[in-house]
């Protein structure tokens, strides 16, 4: 299934995308694509529904973040060997973990706002993993049992805030609009192998990133198991699994986003995003 949340920001309704690409309303079956609705048993119930029996959503409504009620937005740094190389970093011996504020989460096509005093706002297309049930001390072998599905994520990063200021990476990752999520939550049964997906990103029509999840240092199974050693993962939590090469920081000379730019990105089978870049008020 391809699950969506549509409507005005903060008042999104649950839906699914049918075989013709039309949104069907799920409000009579779940209150949101969040929490208990992500549990394996509930997803099985939704999968049994005939999409044609659900009300069709008229027009082209705004798409919100594809999962609601996210408690933790966990990111993995330098998780592609080729990305680590372009930034001059060493591949880490264990996953680098940092948090992105959940207030950064927006819809896949919402405006991307350059924060005040930003000089180095950068792009990063990433595979998102959405947790479906509580995971604590889970084995790598069983890890995917705790995954509800996958989505496209844009881990927008302000490099000066992230690297040149004192402290941790979080402040360079958490500005408002720095977490476009969606368009869909694609349930794991539709993703044959999360370690074999093409992902890409364009800025103003020019290809900047063109990679594959096959070059991840630490795969999805390992990451879910690893993170569950240090914190319980809850339904709706998001893991952003790292980015392939082609980020602005790695270019010579470096290149960063500015107001007026258009960013397009996507992952094979998981949909695409488009953001207009604007200056924050």
Lowest mean pLDDT of 3-12, 62-71, 167-176, 266-275, name the range.
167-176
Higher pLDDT, 260 or 170: 260
Q: How far apart are CA 150 and CA 279, in angstroms?
A: 30
User: Within this chain, do residues 139 and 15 fall inside the same structural domain, yes or no?
Assistant: no
Q: Are residues 16 and 47 in the same domain?
A: yes
The pTM score is: 0.96
131 and 246 part of one domain? yes
Quote the percentage of the chain above a pLDDT of 90: 92
Mean pLDDT of all residues in 257-273? 98
Same domain? 19 vs 80: no
Q: Are residues 171 and 203 in the same domain?
A: yes
**Could you tell me which of 73, 92, 82 has the C-alpha nearest to residue 240?**
73
Per-residue pLDDT averaged across 18-28, rounded?
A: 97
Q: Could you tell me if 157 and 263 lie in one domain?
A: yes
Task: Count up the domains in the chain and report the number.
Answer: 2
44 and 119 in one domain? no
Residue 163: what pLDDT?
A: 84
pLDDT at 81: 81
Structural domain includes residue 67: no
Report yes or no on 66 lying in a domain. Answer: no
Does residue 47 sit in the same domain as residue 177? no
Q: Which of 160-174, 210-224, 266-280 has the lowest mean pLDDT?
A: 160-174
Cis amide leading into 184 (omega within 30): no
CATH number of the structural domain spanning residue 230? 3.90.850.10
- Count Cα atoms within 13 angstroms, Cβ side, for 33: 30
pLDDT, tens only, 167-191: 788 999 999 999 999 999 999 999 9
Q: Are residues 44 and 79 in the same domain?
A: no
169 dihedral zone (left: phi>0; alpha: psi -120 to 50; beta): alpha
Q: Which domain holds residue 78?
A: 73-279
For 78-124, the pLDDT digits (tens) are 899 877 777 777 788 999 999 999 999 999 999 999 999 999 999 99
Distance CA 36, CA 277 (A): 34
Q: Across the chain, what does the average pLDDT equal?
A: 96
The answer to whether residues 47 and 80 belong to one domain is no
Does the pLDDT at position 156 exceed 90?
yes
């Amino acid at each position: 299934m391809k699950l969506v949340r549509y409507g005005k920001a903060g008042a999104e309704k649950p839906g699914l995308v049918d075989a013709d690409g039309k949104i069907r309303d799920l409000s009579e079956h779940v209150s949101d694509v969040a929490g208990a609705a992500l549990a394996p048993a509930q997803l099985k119930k939704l999968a049994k529904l005939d999409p044609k029996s659900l009300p069709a959503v008229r027009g082209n409504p705004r798409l919100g973040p594809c999962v609601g009620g996210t408690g933790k937005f966990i990111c993995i740094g330098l998780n592609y060997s080729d990305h680590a190389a372009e930034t001059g970093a060493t591949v880490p011996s264990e996953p680098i973990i940092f948090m992105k504020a959940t207030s950064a989460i927006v819809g896949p096509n919402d405006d991307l706002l350059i924060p005040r005093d930003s000089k180095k706002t950068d792009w990063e297309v990433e595979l998102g993993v959405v947790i479906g049930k509580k995971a604590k001390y889970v084995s790598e072998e069983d890890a995917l049992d705790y995954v509800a599905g996958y989505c496209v994520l844009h881990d927008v990063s302000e490099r000066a805030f992230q690297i040149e200021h004192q402290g941790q990476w979080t402040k360079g990752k958490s500005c408002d609009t720095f977490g476009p999520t969606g368009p869909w939550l694609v349930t794991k049964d539709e993703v044959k192998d999360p370690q074999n997906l093409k992902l890409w990103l364009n800025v103003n029509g020019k290809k900047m990133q063109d990679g594959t999840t096959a070059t991840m240092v630490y795969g999805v199974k390992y990451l879910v198991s690893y993170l569950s050693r240090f914190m319980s993962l809850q339904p709706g939590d998001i893991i952003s699994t790292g980015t392939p090469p082609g980020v602005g920081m790695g270019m010579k000379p470096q290149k960063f986003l500015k107001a007026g730019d258009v960013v397009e990105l996507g992952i094979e089978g998981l949909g695409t995003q488009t953001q207009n870049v604007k200056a924050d008020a």
